[in-house]
């Protein structure tokens, strides 16, 4: 039995299931020459004209382009570029109805031709001396896709390197009206054969099979002449039957092989290319002409002359029909493609694309419109003519019910949409239309499922990444914690070692017996000194505390210091005899009030003792040589205030008893009243000084039985100190006045005098203290003090014999 190759080489043919024999109607255009048309006003070039994705746009609106210049770039394997069909200017890039049964808008480039037909630079290749990758790259860069209707990228089909047994060139135009491939073979058979040679170099097949229907005698003759001397090029003439031009059907006819469901012809060692695609490959390699035009059959009884026209890609269908003398009738239909597999155009502005091979403009009688759909009578004619051996009746039921699972199980994807079932259906059911809609919905669902799967995969990958990052962070944290613990342990070891080293370094050396005895004696001496200091009498501690300049300001310590000052003042008064009036005052008697409460208390006590000593030294009943005994000073600052109040009362009584002693012209100066208790204390001190002066000048006027009214004592030690200072200043001034004038009052020797400088300082202190007096009671005290001063001055003057005593 001969092998399959021997049978094929012997010219044996096989048959496929089903098929129909519609009227061919090819003589209208098959004998006419290929026509040329003028450049249209606009070209609408879709950016995607193949199965796959659109390329990357390279131009923008306003750019000038040359003929053959790429408008998009192929950035992946399933993308092929589109080129400028002619030179001109890019007007816009916008959405435009697509050449598809749905007519959905898709991006298109609008080009305005300039009529110059200026080409870009071209570079031809010698395919015999060009490497295979460069040939495939040139095919892709030329934008060549399958021109038989599917539009699959040619460089992918031609890139199979091994396992190719047969290269089949499909020259079977089985659909009525279409003669584009027929006239192409009649006029360009030699170029087609050179294209076959390029494919043979790329695929290296065992044999080349060229299938042509028997209703194309001129094309058959032209191809036979071009294939002379090519023993591996087997030209096979097949019977005219629709759809023998289908890929799977032609493979069955020429090789008896069947392509399994869901598989490609390459899986069984076969590659098929359309004759128009082979011609475009030859032009791209030899002349560097991209796919910018193709032959289109324009036919129909509404045209003045039907013919095959070489039209530019992007030419509107309306312009193509006008070139053939189109005369439209009411409700005119225009079909893109053949009458079996084509679709009616919604508008004549839809452009030609790379897969467009026919435009039909029939009359109503030529191709009547489909009638009203009726119920299926289950005749089974559709199943008998189906070339894919399917069950069209079942498929349409499932398509109407949208049962996609049943459609998949009945192999809807194997339907080639040839329209044979619709052609023979007596109920005029548009079966193919249902299949197309169902396929589109299944594709959409598949895309959604793919998106969902991709999203799920991304989500799972993200979760895995997050979990991995979490584990890595935990591991890093554990490593860092271990590192920190190790560092801490090392630091502790270092610290322990350093401490041990310090202990070892500072460890006392072993002492001798003599050193131990000396250390013991030293400690005993320190203990005895501490005991002696602890047993010191309390009065010595008090004295030390009172005289120390840096002692703590304790009220009890201040009282102790005041007592010591009073004792010293008393001792001085008892030790010194009465001195002459001009005898200088001892420096030790001078006490200056300070801001320290303890020192102020001491000064106040000394002042009170001196004032009392002067008051007791010069009364008439007491002889001058009588020793003055100072009474103990009060230990409380408030007692000093009481003494000052007594002095003011005595001064007031003296002023009332001897008003005549004061001259009328004596000015009375009222000092400003104090606004607070301290100012009142200042006024009290002034009053005490006046009383002291009166007591020195006129001792007879002061009687012991005079009632004394004590004013409230001041509670502030500093106020008492100020009052004592003022009292001392007044006493000193009176003593100086009496000593300077003859016949004046004698100053007791027990009372010390002050130098002029000290008087000035006291006067300054009085001047500073005077503006602070403001209260009403203080005003009265100031007035009484002024009167007392005036009387004291009057008493200090020499006595006039004529003046009454």
The binding site for [4Fe-4S] cluster comprises: 376, 379, 382, 386, 415, 418, 421, 425
Rounded-to-integer distance, Cα 369 and Cα 355, Å? 25
**Cβ within 8 Å of residue 263, ≥6 positions away:** none
Residue 381: closest CA among 340, 336, 420: 420
CB 752 within 8 A of CB 587: no
Rounded-to-integer distance, Cα 528 and Cα 129, Å? 125
- What's 633's DSSP letter? P
**Cβ within 8 Å of residue 490, ≥6 positions away:** none
Residue 734: closest CA among 681, 688, 670: 688
**Cβ within 8 Å of residue 162, ≥6 positions away:** none
Give backbone dihedrals phi and psi of 317, rounded to 5 degrees, phi first: -60, -35
Rounded-to-integer distance, Cα 546 and Cα 567, Å? 14
E strand intervals along 42-120: 43-46, 56-57, 64-65, 72-73, 88-97, 105-113
Rounded-to-integer distance, Cα 388 and Cα 414, Å? 7
Sign of CA dihedral 367, 372, 376, 378: negative
Burial 693-729 (b: 16+ CB within 10 A, else e): bbbbbbbebbeeeeeeeebebbebbbbbbbbbbbbbb
For residue 592, give both structure tokens: 């200056």
SS (H, E, C) 445-480: HHHHHHHHHHHHHHHHHHHHHHHHHHHHHHHHHHHH
Residue 437 burial (10 A CB sphere; 0-12, 13-18, 19+): middle
Angle at 794 between CA 791 and CA 797, to 5 degrees: 150
Whole-angstrom distance between the N-terminal and C-terminal Cα of the chain? 187
**Cβ within 8 Å of residue 130, ≥6 positions away:** 285
Cis preceding-peptide flag for 243 (omega within 30 of 0): yes
CB 670 within 8 A of CB 786: yes
Residue 414's CB is within 10 A of a number of other CB atoms, namely: 16
**Cβ within 8 Å of residue 742, ≥6 positions away:** 798
User: Can you say which residues are annotated as belonging to the binding site?
Assistant: 376, 379, 382, 386, 415, 418, 421, 425
Residue 660: closest CA among 789, 791, 786: 791
Residue 230's CB is within 10 A of a number of other CB atoms, namely: 15
Give backbone dihedrals phi and psi of 416, rounded to 5 degrees, phi first: -95, 5
Residue 640 burial (10 A CB sphere; 0-12, 13-18, 19+): buried
For residue 15, give both structure tokens: 């048959």
Residue 42 burial (10 A CB sphere; 0-12, 13-18, 19+): middle
Indicate left, alpha or beta for 378 from its phi (over 0: left) and psi (-120 to 50: alpha).
Answer: left
For residue 791, give both structure tokens: 């009387």
Residue with tokens 């000194």: 529
Give backbone dihedrals phi and psi of 351, rounded to 5 degrees, phi first: -85, 165
């Amino acid at each position: 039995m001969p092998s399959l190759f021997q049978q094929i080489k012997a010219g044996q043919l096989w048959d496929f299931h089903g098929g129909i024999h519609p009227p061919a109607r090819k003589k209208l255009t098959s004998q006419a020459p290929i026509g040329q048309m003028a450049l249209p006003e606009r070209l609408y070039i879709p950016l995607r004209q193949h199965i796959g994705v659109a390329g990357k746009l390279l131009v923008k609106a306003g750019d000038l382009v040359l003929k053959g210049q790429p408008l998009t770039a192929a950035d992946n394997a399933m993308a092929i570029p589109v080129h400028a069909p002619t030179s001109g200017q890019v007007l816009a890039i916008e959405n435009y109805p697509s050449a598809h049964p749905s007519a959905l808008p898709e991006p298109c480039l609008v080009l305005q031709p300039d009529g110059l037909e200026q080409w870009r630079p071209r570079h031809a290749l010698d395919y015999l001396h060009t490497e295979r990758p460069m040939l495939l790259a040139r095919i892709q860069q030329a934008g060549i896709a399958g021109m038989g209707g599917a539009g699959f990228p040619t460089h992918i089909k031609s890139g199979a390197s091994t396992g190719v047994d047969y290269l089949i060139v499909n020259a079977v135009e089985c659909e009525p009206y279409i003669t584009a491939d027929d006239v192409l073979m009649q006029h360009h058979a030699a170029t087609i054969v050179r294209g076959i040679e390029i494919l043979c170099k790329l695929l290296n097949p065992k044999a080349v099979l060229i299938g042509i229907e028997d209703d194309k005698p001129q094309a058959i003759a032209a191809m036979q002449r071009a294939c002379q001397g090519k023993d591996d090029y087997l030209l096979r003439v097949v019977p005219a039957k629709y759809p023998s031009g289908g890929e799977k059907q032609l493979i069955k006819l020429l090789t008896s092989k069947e392509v399994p469901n869901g598989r490609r012809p390459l899986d069984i060692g076969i590659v098929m290319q359309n004759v128009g695609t082979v011609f475009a490959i030859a032009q791209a390699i030899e002349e560097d002409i991209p796919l910018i035009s193709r032959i289109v059959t324009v036919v129909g009884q509404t045209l003045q002359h039907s013919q095959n026209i070489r039209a530019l890609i992007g030419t509107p269908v309306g312009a193509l029909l006008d070139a053939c003398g189109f005369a439209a009738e009411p409700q005119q239909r225009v079909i893109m493609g053949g009458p079996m597999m084509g679709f009616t155009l919604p508008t004549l502005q839809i452009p030609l694309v790379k897969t467009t091979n026919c435009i039909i403009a029939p009359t109503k009688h030529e191709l009547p419109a489909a009638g009203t759909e009726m119920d299926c009578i289950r005749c089974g004619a559709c199943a008998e003519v189906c070339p894919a051996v399917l069950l069209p009746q079942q498929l349409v039921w499932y398509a109407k019910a949208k049962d996609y699972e049943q459609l998949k199980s009945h192999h809807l994807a194997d339907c080639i949409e040839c329209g044979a079932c619709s052609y023979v259906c007596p109920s005029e059911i548009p079966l193919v239309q249902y299949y197309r809609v169902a396929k589109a919905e299944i594709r959409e669902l598949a895309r959604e499922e793919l998106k969902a799967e991709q999203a799920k995969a991304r989500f799972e990958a993200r979760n895995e990444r997050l979990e991995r990052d979490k584990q890595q962070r935990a591991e890093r944290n554990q490593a860092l914690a271990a590192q920190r613990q190790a560092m801490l342990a090392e630091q502790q070891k270092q610290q322990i070692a350093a401490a041990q080293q310090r202990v070892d370094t500072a460890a006392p050396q072993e002492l001798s017996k003599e050193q131990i005895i000396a250390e013991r004696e030293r400690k005993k001496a320190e203990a005895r000194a501490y005991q002696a200091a602890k047993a010191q009498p309390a009065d010595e501690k008090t004295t030390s505390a009172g005289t120390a300049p840096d002692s703590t300001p304790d009220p009890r310590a201040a009282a102790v210091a005041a007592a010591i000052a009073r004792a010293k003042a008393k001792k001085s008064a008892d030790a010194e005899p009465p001195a002459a009036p001009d005898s200088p005052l001892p420096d030790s008697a001078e006490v200056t009030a300070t801001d320290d409460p303890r020192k102020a208390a001491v000064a106040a006590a000394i002042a009170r003792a001196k004032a009392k000593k002067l008051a007791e030294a010069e009364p008439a009943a007491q002889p001058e040589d009588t020793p003055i005994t100072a009474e103990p000073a009060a230990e409380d600052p408030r007692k000093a205030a009481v003494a000052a109040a007594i002095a003011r009362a005595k001064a007031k009584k003296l002023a009332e008893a001897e008003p005549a002693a004061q001259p009328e012209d004596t000015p009375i100066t009222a000092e400003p009243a104090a606004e607070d208790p301290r100012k009142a204390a200042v006024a009290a001190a002034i009053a005490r000084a006046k009383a002291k002066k009166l007591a020195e000048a006129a001792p007879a006027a002061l009687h012991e039985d005079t009632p004394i009214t004590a004013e409230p004592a001041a509670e502030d030690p500093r106020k008492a100190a100020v009052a004592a200072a003022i009292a001392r200043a007044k006493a000193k001034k009176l003593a100086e006045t009496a000593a300077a004038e003859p016949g004046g009052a004698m100053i007791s020797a027990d009372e010390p005098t002050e130098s002029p400088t000290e008087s000035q300082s006291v006067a300054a202190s009085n001047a500073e203290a005077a503006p602070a007096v403001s209260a009403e009671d203080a005003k009265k005290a100031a007035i009484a003090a002024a009167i007392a001063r005036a009387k004291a001055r009057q008493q200090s003057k020499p006595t006039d014999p004529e003046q009454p005593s």
